[in-house]
Amino acid sequence: MSCAIVNARILPAWDGTFATGAILVEDGRIAGIARGADTDAMAARARETFDAKGATVLPGLVNAHHHAYANVLRGTENALPLELWALFTVAFGRGLDERLLRLGILLGAAEMARAGVTCVVDHSPPVRHFRASHAAHLESGLRVAFAPFLHDRHDHDILGFALPDAIRAEIEGAGFPDPAFICDMFDELGRTDGGGRVRTILGPNAPQRCSPALLDLWAQLAARHGMGAHTHLLETEAQAIACWREWPEGVVAHLDARGLLDACTAVAHGIWLAPAERDLLARRGTTVVHNPASNLMLGSGILPLADLEARGVPLALGSDSANTGGTADMFELMRLATMIGRSGTDWRSWPRAETALRMATEGGARAAGLSGRTGRIETGYMADLVVLDLSGAAVSALETNVEALVRHGGAHQVRATMVGGDWIYREGRIRSFDEAAVLAEFTQVRAAFLDERAHALGSARKAMEILAQQLQTTRLQEMIGPKRD
């Protein structure tokens, strides 16, 4: 398959200037970029011509932290801090069967393809159904870094929260998969690259949610399969307390001592990283994935993005769960990322639109283990592209530049989305799967799912009442004092 996208404003480099020209796509890759008279020759060489007159072509956006299962949980609890919110998402998540998982993945894929997202990191808790998740990702047409969870410790144990036995048993459910299952799963997934689109990486839930034996297994699997890793890290104050209690040298130093931090590792959130820990991540080339909407919704804190950028920490951007961050619109996230850390008059350090766009493209590619392969419009890169119409009233700008794009762009301006040379969204229609059938099926099954989960949600509510009081008395400053760097 070959396609020439002609008459497009292209953003090929990071100097912020757009060039008008053509992009030749052959065999899933960008085979050439041309300007001026050369564009005619390029169009003649391609089997298909896409006229992008008046449109802007960007590298496909990368959602670098997402939990696809939660796309069937829109409309559930979203006004609680993480430790209490988690009771509800786990109560729902544990009831997902393979059919609902597929629907969640495809609902999210449709939302993201329509919003110009070409690649997503799916940090996936329902590991017992890993084959169904993997198959749905293949069906979606998106490029995916599939990161099944590793974890074997509950938050209430880690945080030292007391629960009556009956409630504890109910919210713990069947327990965690054993190490043999985890090994077999990654052995199986490691044997496929999903047609070049769905690659597996390790998905440790969070360091404190893994026993020492499981942290060992993380290192073993990474070495055996050459897989990168994606994990939550220091998302909330309570987690920071738990980590400092467990590892007085700091969780980041502990992971580093185990050899778990490198350029193939990405950590989500990182709000409560101490300054020295940020420096260590920068030295190891480990990406921090910023999730501004989720952090705001859960009240987890504000990531000091400008400080991380100044220290040279690689950065990416994620939407997190549909039931924490809301939409998976990377434009909304780019805007939030540049604005929420601003305060006072020290404007020189405020994150710029260009920083946010880099995070949402090549920064995300690095987090997904695809550095140098996607995230830029460059010859040899995979043809993951998004075509935006910036001519409407809401986006028509004095100058078409990155500032206008980030401040005023949005999912509703996306005209077409291409992954690996295939149009997965074009002319208002998802082309990789039957979106209407997915929506109809979800409408059919959701009421029964809610009914089936009623008892588990009752247990979550009881646990919440007990844990809420204990959570409110947990404060980092009281535990370890004001200085921790």
* Count of residues interacting with Zn ion (CB under 5 A): 1
Contact 33, 21 (CB under 8 A): yes
Contact 201, 194 (CB under 8 A): no
Q: CB nearer to Zn ion: give 155 or 320.
A: 320
Q: In this chain, which residue has its C-beta nearest to Zn ion?
A: 320
CB of 71 to Zn ion, least distance (A): 13
- Cβ contacts of residue 321 below 8 Å, gap of 6+? 66, 67, 70, 73, 89, 294
Q: Which stretch binds Zn ion (CB under 5 A): 241-249, 318-326, 371-379, 438-446?
A: 318-326
CB of 238 to Zn ion, least distance (A): 15
Q: CB nearer to Zn ion: give 232 or 415.
A: 232
User: Hey, which bits of 155-298 come out as E strands?
Assistant: 198-200, 203-204, 229-233, 265-269, 287-290
Helices 454-472, 165-172: axis angle to 10 degrees equals: 120
How wide is the angle at C-alpha 198 spanned by C-alphas 230 and 130, nearest 5°?
A: 70
For residue 194, what is the DSSP state?
Answer: G
CB of 271 to Zn ion, least distance (A): 12
CB of 51 to Zn ion, least distance (A): 40
CB of 204 to Zn ion, least distance (A): 12
Q: CB nearer to Zn ion: give 277 or 320.
A: 320
| Among 83, 155, 309, 320, contact with Zn ion (rule: CB under 5 A) | 320
CB of 295 to Zn ion, least distance (A): 10
Does 122 interact with Zn ion (rule: CB under 5 A)? no
Does 332 interact with Zn ion (rule: CB under 5 A)? no
CB of 321 to Zn ion, least distance (A): 6
Does 111 interact with Zn ion (rule: CB under 5 A)? no
Contact 117, 356 (CB under 8 A): no
Contact 375, 58 (CB under 8 A): no
Q: Which stretch binds Zn ion (CB under 5 A): 21-29, 315-323, 363-371, 446-454?
A: 315-323
Contact 233, 278 (CB under 8 A): no
Phi/psi of residue 267, nearest 5 degrees: -120, 135
Q: CB nearer to Zn ion: give 43 or 120.
A: 120
CB of 227 to Zn ion, least distance (A): 19
Phi/psi of residue 31, nearest 5 degrees: -95, -15
- Beta pairing, strands 203-204 & 61-66: unpaired
The neighbour count for residue 192, using CB atoms within 10 Å, is 12
Measure Cα distances from 338 to 108, 293, 319, 345 in Å: 24, 12, 15, 15
CB of 296 to Zn ion, least distance (A): 14
Q: CB nearer to Zn ion: give 309 or 320.
A: 320
Does 155 interact with Zn ion (rule: CB under 5 A)? no
Q: Which stretch binds Zn ion (CB under 5 A): 76-84, 215-223, 314-322, 389-397?
A: 314-322
Q: CB nearer to Zn ion: give 231 or 413.
A: 231
Q: CB nearer to Zn ion: give 170 or 320.
A: 320
CA distance 221 to 183: 8
Q: CB nearer to Zn ion: give 10 or 368.
A: 368
Q: CB nearer to Zn ion: give 6 or 90.
A: 90
Q: Which stretch binds Zn ion (CB under 5 A): 71-79, 86-94, 319-327, 392-400?
A: 319-327
Q: CB nearer to Zn ion: give 233 or 464.
A: 233
Contact 46, 421 (CB under 8 A): no
Residues from 243 through 282 that contact Zn ion (CB under 5 A): none
CB of 232 to Zn ion, least distance (A): 6
CA distance 113 to 74: 18
Count CA atoms within 13 Å of residue 414 on its CB side. Answer: 30
Binding site for Zn ion (CB under 5 A): 320
